[in-house]
């Protein structure tokens, strides 16, 4: 079975940095777009960053000058480097990976979430 395991979330002071990592395991031949989403209390999921298998990235303006997403296809891992963290970055961060389950059919897998708390 496919699993996504996240790590790196913790408490950090405003202005600090964190690096989140997500590794996929299981019966996986290839992985399409991978990304990170976050959910603050009372808020829906928000895209933080995504990256295609070819390395093209997409980040919203609120984080693109501070965050960087990268992936290692051999290790089936996607990382999120977060710098200059702000209290409004506080959220549960979820890893996402799109994986084909059969020809022409893709499924979105999600990690369990990791808490990032940025204090003032």
Residue 49 has a pLDDT of 98
pLDDT of residue 54: 94
CB atoms within 10 A of CB 51: 21
Structure tokens at 84: 């200059």
| pLDDT score, position 2 | 94
Phi, psi (rounded to 5 degrees) for 6: -105, 155
What rounded mean pLDDT belongs to the chain? 96
- Of 41, 38, 44, 31, the C-alpha closest to 4 is 31
| 3-state class (DSSP) for residue 89 | helix
pLDDT number for residue 84: 98
The pLDDT value recorded for residue 71 is: 97
Q: Decide: helix, strand or coil at residue 17.
A: coil
């Amino acid at each position: 079975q496919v699993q996504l395991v996240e790590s790196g979330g913790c408490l950090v002071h405003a202005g600090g940095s964190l690096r989140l990592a997500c590794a996929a395991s299981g019966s996986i031949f290839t992985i399409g777009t991978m990304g990170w989403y976050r959910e603050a209390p009372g808020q829906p999921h928000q895209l933080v960053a995504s990256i295609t298998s070819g390395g093209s990235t997409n980040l919203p303006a609120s984080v693109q000058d501070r965050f960087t997403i990268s992936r290692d296809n051999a290790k089936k891992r996607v990382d999120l480097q977060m710098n200059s963290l702000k209290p409004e970055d506080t959220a549960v961060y979820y890893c996402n990976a799109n994986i084909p389950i059969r020809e022409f059919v893709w499924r979105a897998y999600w990690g369990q979430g990791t808490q990032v708390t940025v204090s003032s």
